[in-house]
Amino acid sequence: MCGIVGYIGPRQAYPIIITGLKRQEYRGYDSTGIAIMNPHLTVYKKKGKVAELENTLLGENLKSNIGIGHTRWATHGEPSDRNAHPHLSASGKLAMIHNGIIENYAQLKTELLNKGYTFKSDTDTEVLLNFIEEIKTNTQCSLEEAVRIALKRVSGAYVILLLDEENPDTIVAARKGSPLVIGIGKGEHFLGSDATPMLEYTKEVVYVNDYEVAIIKADELILKNLGNERQTPYITKLDMELAAIEKGGYDHFMLKEIFEQPQTIYDCLRGRLDAEKGTITMSGIQKYAEQIMNANRIIMVACGTSWHAGLVAEYIFEELCRINVEVEYASEFRYRNPVINKGDVIIAISQSGETADTLVAIENAKKQGAIILGVVNVVGSSISRVSDGGAYTHAGPEIGVASTKAFTAQLAVLTMIALKIGYEKGTLDKDRYMRLLDELNSVPDKVKVVLEQQERIKALAEKYKDASDALFLGRGYNFPVALEGALKLKEISYIHAEGYPAAEMKHGPIALVDENLPVVFVATKDSYHEKVISNMQEIKARKGKVIAVITEGDEHSTSLADDVIEVPEADEIVAPMLSVIPLQLLSYYVGVAKGYDVDKPRNLAKSVTVE
């Protein structure tokens, strides 16, 4: 989860590192710190966000051409100055930052304590750092060799970056399970958890693989595996512009990303869906189309918002393709010892492509003969590399911690896959196939219409911002949208919210209903609509406050609800991409009205690269 940054070259390292940390704060913001050679190894770190560290460093002599930086999401040890990274080794000669969890740190710590080591923090990182220094000192080997030896003993996930005062022209890095990107410049190198710290300096990057150690000098990059064998770096060209990671005049990244959805959905469809010709072109899916059509089941594996996208896709695939679909939390799936049969299709859904539980789940399923398809946003990410095939969502960087545009892009990709497979399999007739292509093609323009209600939704947020609880209800395709709406409100406003199938409300949650409880119905016109109307009446009979997301012109729902938000009419298969937009905006404006940092909600991080 944590964000890491590094630089070595002719430029001043500090401005590059501090800017890179700000761009990666979505990965964690409990504490932050930097280490530079000036001329000796010097560490500055502080609890809180990057700006707080930056303020404390005003007037400091920070001149250096090499440095590393870290922004933390706390795992081992509470957020504090002493638990912030970088950590210094016992001798003060090594500094290290770390993203991940060392699972056997307690055993290593006991060994070091028995040798007389003391520790200044509660972190597993300081344990690993001193373990590396112990090996280096006792064997008189190089830092890179000590790292290789140490990591053969380590269980867990990590990206580590180290500075060595005795070798002030080198950064040593290693990776397993957490992402590491190295930017290639002219006589300089940039390091990051993603490519955002280096966008204005280079478009050439290397994605470091698991179990690789990188030895980085200003004019040289050496990759080795843990067996000390040289590896050939594969250079990738970035397809990302700096403007994509800037706010562009919006107050928050979250609002910008909500309003980007007409474009991001269009970008997702562009070059793939041709409604006039009646074609869907997805090379990463076509290669496995026969296996998907003949699969006994599809298992969708995801976490959080991506899991909700999988739930919507379950309805779509079963309806259009007539294939049994199961949707699994990756964190449960990886440990449950699930029954995987050869030929099962696993679809891994992840915005970052680095979600630790999802990654391990598909690696395990692949060993058992499953076909792995990835639906991810980040090109070159770990899940994309492990997958046999799949499709990128092309949503662009998502900086706001609460996912918005990634959700609708995932739905667009998954809907295209279902349409393609259903039509080729013959379970979807041509007339409906062509109608659904038109429906999907029209979604970007319809999202624009929904976004025009921004001010109305803002007023509703002001009206309901002081609620302590909320229910979100929907049926069919809109049930997962209700779950997503509840999640967004929890993430952004810290209001307790729950999502349920509307009919399940009678089996317990209706006990919560009184005149103070807002109940949000996702009630667009579909095959469940009359049933949802009945559920709405049950809430009104108990004096609950009904907020309804409805189809334009639905007078019956309007007469029952206290407040309504209208969305354009759409087929129920694509309707979730429209009905979720008001819930994103409602959560955003409630959070803003309550004075919270909606881009960086407390305790959260964007990319969950640890268990």
Cβ atoms within 10 Å of 235's Cβ, excluding its own: 12
CB distance 32 to 22 below 8 Å: no
Orientation of helix 405-425 relative to helix 576-593, angle to 10°: 170
CA 533 to chain centre: 35
Measured CA to CA, the distance from residue 121 to residue 47 in angstroms comes to 13
CB distance 544 to 514 below 8 Å: yes
CA 293 to chain centre: 29
Please enumerate in sequence order all residues whose Cβ is within 8 A of that of 360, keeping only pairs 6 or more positions apart, or say none.
330, 334
2 is catalytic: yes
Rounded to 5 degrees, what angle do the CA atoms 486, 489, 490 make?
Answer: 85
Amino acid letter for position 181: V
Strand duo 371-376 + 389-392: pairing = parallel
Measured CA to CA, the distance from residue 416 to residue 395 in angstroms comes to 15
Rounded to 5 degrees, what angle do the CA atoms 422, 427, 429 make?
Answer: 90
Tokens, residue 200? 């204005």
H/E segment holding residue 532: helix 529-540
Measured CA to CA, the distance from residue 385 to residue 181 in angstroms comes to 14
Measured CA to CA, the distance from residue 386 to residue 376 in angstroms comes to 12
10 Å CB burial of residue 310 (0-12, 13-18, 19+) is: buried
Given strand 3-8, what is the order of strands in its sheet? Answer: 41-47, 31-37, 66-72, 3-8, 189-192, 181-184, 204-207, 235-237
Q: What is the DSSP code string of 248-314?
A: TT-SSHHHHHHHTHHHHHHHHHTTTEETTTTEE--HHHHTTHHHHHH-SEEEEEE-HHHHHHHHHHH
- 523 to each of 188, 308, 513, 548, 602, how far by Cα in Å? 55, 17, 18, 6, 31
Cis peptide before 39 (omega within 30 of 0): yes
Measured CA to CA, the distance from residue 475 to residue 486 in angstroms comes to 14
- φ/ψ region of 92 (left if φ > 0, alpha if ψ in -120 to 50, else beta) reads left
Cis peptide before 501 (omega within 30 of 0): no
Catalytic-labelled residue, pool 2, 268, 303, 321: 2
Catalytic-labelled residue, pool 224, 256, 446, 606: 606
Which positions are annotated as active-site residues?
2, 606
